[in-house]
Amino acid sequence: MSGTIDFPLPVLGFAAFSGSGKTTLLERVIPRLVEAGVRPALVKHSHHDFEMDKPGKDSDRLRRAGAGQVLLASPWRTAWIREGDGETEPRLQELLSRLDLSSLDLVLVEGFRQEPIPKIEIHRPALGRPLLCAADPNVVALACDAPPVEAPDLPRLDLNDPAEVARWILRWMGRG
14 neighbors 43 (Cβ within 8 angstroms):
no
Q: Are 133 and 15 in contact (CB under 8 A)?
A: no
Q: DSSP assignment, residue 102?
A: G
Residue 1 has pLDDT above 60, yes or no: no
If you ran DSSP here, which 8-state letter would residue 111 be given? S
C-alpha 142/C-alpha 123 separation (Å) is 7
The 10s digit of each residue's pLDDT in 93-147 is: 988 998 989 999 999 999 888 899 999 999 999 999 999 999 999 999 999 999 9
| Domains of the chain, each with CATH number or no CATH | 11-49+89-172 (3.40.50.300), 51-85 (no CATH)
> At 162, is the pLDDT very low, low, confident or very high (cuts 50, 70, 90)?
very high
